[in-house]
Copies of this chain bind each other. A is one copy, B any other.
């Protein structure tokens, strides 16, 4: 059974095989690998030749088992297919590279169960820390993880507890920015395509929405049409618009989408229904992803410092590890910025 799938060797060569071939002890081979300067030139060369001849590749499991831990951290984002999160991930990688850490990256697809599964997988693999954009309302799992010695930093959401750090953008402000803008254009009946309120970003942006409406003296009951979509992507947006247009009552004149991917789907559905943008429906997205400015109708959006977000989260995580008990937990918060384009403002 084991020979069928193996080309040549029946078993990958171990450090012992290398030692035998080079005529040294395993300890010496290990030294060549990890402290080459403590080995004489001739011995080192002999070992390196043996490694080359046998095509020896270190066994990470054995290495890690003995060493106890390895320079790896995990990150779980809501949706790896969302350009916003890939840019965040790039920021994380850039910071980790400086300390020679490796990243295990996964997407929860907004499913708390998937999130939990990946967290367990990461833990079994002995990651030193995790960065998570939680998809569940509860932080219990993450707190337990922290108690088991794995550092945790929340990514793109503000921490509700004092003893877990977070790096986020002010989503309340972001939501308010979008609505203030639409209100300033004269809209008084606005649709809000939002995700489930188990996701913190959705809660916060909604809070900003409500606050901005109140500030403008508008009654949410009359001026806001909330549509909850299942997933924060193009399909969700399309679905949300279809439900909105099917519904009875006054059709809103403006729409705020919880992110740009959702807005993309919404625009597609609106176009399919022949709704003019922004004349019949003004649209605002969130994230200002790479293609937002290039759409049929350039998308007004709330911009966030993506790369910096990821970089800072990784920085916090690494500092938390290196500083140990001296580390002060903190909530880093960046400010969002509204980018006005044609999807909301014909004069833009």
Interface residues on A, range: 35 or more
A65-B65, A105-B105 as given contacts; A9 in contact with B148, CB under 8 Å: yes
B268 touches A6 (CB 8 A): no
A59 touches B124 (CB 8 A): yes
Q: Is A243 an interface residue (CB 8 A)?
A: no
Residues of B within 8 A of A63 (CB): 124
Our pick among B102, B124, B144, B296 for the contact of A60 (Cβ within 8 Å) is B124
B120 touches A57 (CB 8 A): yes
Our pick among B55, B59, B86, B151 for the contact of A126 (Cβ within 8 Å) is B59
Residues of B within 8 A of A290 (CB): 234, 264
State which residues 265-321 of A face B: CB under 8 Å. 267-268, 290-291, 293-298, 321
A9-B149, A321-B5 as given contacts; A268 in contact with B294, CB under 8 Å: yes
**A-to-B contact residues, CB < 8 Å:** 4-9, 12, 55, 57-65, 80-81, 83, 86-87, 89-90, 102, 104-105, 120-121, 123-126, 144, 146-149, 151, 234, 264, 267-268, 290-291, 293-298, 321, 324-325
Beyond the given pairs A59-B65, A59-B124, A102-B121, 18 more chain A to chain B contacts, judged by CB atoms under 8 angstroms and listed by A's residue number, are: A4-B325, A5-B149, A5-B325, A9-B149, A57-B123, A57-B124, A60-B124, A61-B64, A65-B65, A81-B87, A83-B83, A86-B86, A104-B104, A105-B105, A234-B290, A264-B290, A291-B294, A294-B296
